[in-house]
Amino acid sequence: MEVLGIDIGGTGIKGATVDVATGLLTNERFRLPTPKNATPEAVSAIVEEISAHFNWSGTIGCTVPARVEHGLVRTAANIHAFWIDTHVEDLFSSATGQKVTVLNDADAAGLASVTFGAGKGRDGIVFFITVGTGIGSAMFLDQKLIPNTELGHLVLHKNAAELYASDRVRKKKDLSWKKWAGRFQEYLDRLEFLFAPDTIILGGGISRPSKAEQYLPYLATNAELVTATLQNEAGIIGAALAASLEAK
């Protein structure tokens, strides 16, 4: 079964058709820049354009960088404030003329990971942590997603953890990988104290091997700590998979 997956990011919106039985993309990714004024209507127009690019008729899965509850956007930490209380599934369905399932971007990437990537076959409590502009999280118990955890907003030093230990902060403050790892270790310590996970999977931009080798030696966890393997395709694959599961 093929499903169109679309991943909405801060700088780009990318989509591809996915074989949800294998997790493999069946066409090359198509990417368009995220509008500078990324209101729901502006982004919806891009989603429509991506759907038209593939001449798509059928189920669509889509991510957004926000908490999504029963089709409604409830947070806007990293997107335009106009998104709050937008029924995003109705909006995208109206634009494309297709059934659209929408979920949090980290949840989508995590779902792809536990189904096809580094999290495959891992039971117990598994956290998928995306680190980039912010910190996103997906929590799984025995392979089942517990959605909308938003653990990038755990408090560290009187503020959201992503404002202290994200990759954007590393770049902005020109931190060495070792110094940044010290900050991120504090975040992991808090995560482990609260949830005692069995596995932590690190995704997002920092999961690339060339970056991971720079900081992993400085991190220590009780949980098994691994890096994600699906890279930039994870959000697309997870969005498509979520849509296929809802369609069953």
Domain ranges of the chain: 2-107+233-247, 121-228
Q: Are 6 and 13 in contact (CB under 8 A)?
A: yes
The closest of 10, 31, 39 to 133, measured between CA atoms, is 10
The pLDDT tens digits of the residues spanning 190-239 come to: 999 999 999 999 999 899 999 999 999 999 999 999 999 998 899 999 99
pTM summary value: 0.94
DSSP state of 70: T
C-alpha span between 233 and 29 (Å, rounded): 9
**Domain at 2-107+233-247: CATH architecture:** 2-Layer Sandwich (3.30)
The pLDDT tens digits of the residues spanning 166-177 come to: 999 999 999 999
- Residue 4 has a pLDDT of 98
Query: Which phi and psi (to 5°) does residue 68 adopt?
Result: -120, 120
* CATH class name, domain 121-228: alpha beta
